Amino acid sequence: MTGGRESIIMKFLLLLLIAFLTDANAFAEGWDYSCGAGIRTLPFGSSAFGSLGYGKIFWGEKEGADSYKYGYFRPGVRVQSSGLTNRAEAFLDFYPISFLGFSVGHYEGVRFTDTRTVNCVTAECRGLIGSSFVRSKFLAGYARFFFMAGAELHFLRSSSAKPFSEETSSLVGQTGGDKLFSYDLSLGLSLRDNLRAGLLHQGQRMINSGSANDLEALFFQWSRGALSIVPGAGLYHSTTAARSPTFFLALRWVGVPSVGLF
């Protein structure tokens, strides 16, 4: 990505953070932290993460798990590692209402292994990679049904003299940098208080190179106290991998819940 775009995003992030820290009318705040791990079979990968944030409500009030009439800021940091792939991220969430908002941020990463579904002779799979990003999320529910949607745009930067792989999407970007657009849609049902099931559709595309993937899956979410477990199975396809079954498992432990719904 160009230095100009990165500068604009980082300046906007800084301005929102200053507004957050100097808002005398904000009346609710608190630290939150969580950690977790995940594994998938295609494209194969696994990692663990830790996240720390500080939320401040600037209007309304969060009175319980079902409350939604409030807005908040939340700056935070997140680290993710598999030992061979590692990244550190800083972000700022801004949700004018709890179920709809956006985030801006930046991450830097380093890779010490090849991406299995990419030809790492013609594409650079190792070394440094960085990105500024914008993401948005939406959540809705009625009775026992729920719907979630999300979209992200990453402005990827690579110093390699050849095309490069992005390890989380397993897609190949254009030499020097590319833009990665991602979206996800989930529709599900609460089977009981601590068990949900749903259908997931995800898609990702490198804007410049045209490399793309998609996933359709069935998932379950079981929770007990601070722990949640999400197993799932579906079909994965990309420009570098034929459509094939994939399985995934995610675990998350919440030490202190965040002010947000997500």
Asked whether 115 and 167 are in contact (CB, 8 A), the reply is yes
Residue 208 has pLDDT above 70, yes or no: yes
For 170-179, the pLDDT digits (tens) are 999 999 999 9
* Beta bridge pairs of residue 249: 39, 231
Kindly report the pTM of this predicted structure.
0.87
Both tokens of residue 136?
């948005």
pLDDT value of position 66: 78
Is 57 exposed, middle or buried (CB count within 10 Å of its CB: 0-12, 13-18, 19+)? buried
Alpha-carbon distance 43 to 172, whole Å? 13
pLDDT value of position 6: 53
- Domains of the chain in start order, with CATH, are 3-256 (2.40.160.40)
Asked whether 220 and 233 are in contact (CB, 8 A), the reply is no
For 111-140, the pLDDT digits (tens) are 999 988 899 999 999 999 999 999 999 999
Is 163 exposed, middle or buried (CB count within 10 Å of its CB: 0-12, 13-18, 19+)? buried
For 10-41, the pLDDT digits (tens) are 555 555 555 444 443 333 479 999 999 999 99
